[in-house]
Amino acid sequence: MTPITTPPTRRGMSARLSDTDWEAVVACCTGIETWSARSLISRKGDPLDRSLLLLDGWVGRHVPGPHRDLRELVALEIPGDFVDLHSFPLGTLDHDVTAMTDVRMAVLPHDKLRALMQDRPETALALWGQTQLDAAIHRYWSFRVGALRASGRVANFLCEMHSRLMLADLADPTGFDLPLTQADLGEACGMSAVHVNRVMRELREGASCTVRDGRVQIHDYDRLCRIGQFEPYFLTFGPDQAGSA
């Protein structure tokens, strides 16, 4: 772990914290840790005495099956997200946490968070709000896989990641970087990699978007949203923000 030399940038979901709440959270950080791509950060059931704030890179949450080669990707975290804040009250997680890319994360020991919440109940409420946003995203993933057909699942996923990355200043209206394999997309959307490839071809030929070489190029955002039946309210966007990404 390396010491923090400059305060972490507040962006994405953590940008919803007030200035004073953010300063209080940063004061709890004891250092920065890095992980290489595809490395295991924590395993299901491990005792945890700290939570992590993602600064750079992408992190995935996987629920493992009875065999280690069987798993399901149930969430993706991007810069500005608290990766495992809910481990603070639980002391453990019911899933694995994996670095999808090279990542940098700020470390927040649970004893410091406990003292912070006792001293600043308003910050405790703000951090609870972060876990509720996280839960809303989980519910939306369940909706996507359970209610949408193949093309809708992929389109919906791409719209979600575009909206979240826009909040983190990591996307623009024309597209965003997507450092995932087709197998990753298949896990996220409940499909095989072959099926994902077929759907991406349909989206490209339908002039909605092109996914190539780790980059999503959006040709028609409104059309992509219609295919994916995407509405960003689960990210607590107001009506004036919906579709504005």
Q: Over the chain, what HEC string results?
A: CECCCCCCCCCHHHHHCCHHHHHHHHHHCCEEEEECCCCEEECCCCCCCEEEEEEECCEEEEEECCCCCCEEEEEEECCCCECCCCHHHHCCCCCEEEECCCEEEEEEEHHHHHHHHHHCHHHHHHHHHHHHHHHHHHHHHHHHHHHCCHHHHHHHHHHHHHHHHHHCCCEECCEEECCCCHHHHHHHHCCCHHHHHHHHHHHHHCCCEEEECCEEEECCHHHHHHHHCCCHHHHCCCCCCCCCC
pLDDT at 70 (0 to 100): 66
Inform me whether the pLDDT recorded for 238 exceeds 70. Answer: no
Query: What is the per-residue pLDDT across 147-194, written as a single tens digit (0 to 9) for each?
Result: 999 999 999 999 999 999 999 999 999 999 999 999 999 999 999 999
Inform me whether the pLDDT recorded for 228 exceeds 90. Answer: yes
Inform me whether the pLDDT recorded for 220 exceeds 60. Answer: yes
Query: What is the per-residue pLDDT across 32-58, written as a single tens digit (0 to 9) for each?
Result: 999 999 999 999 999 999 999 999 999
pLDDT at 67 (0 to 100): 63
Inform me whether the pLDDT recorded for 83 exceeds 90. Answer: yes
Average the pLDDT over 58-86 and give the result: 87
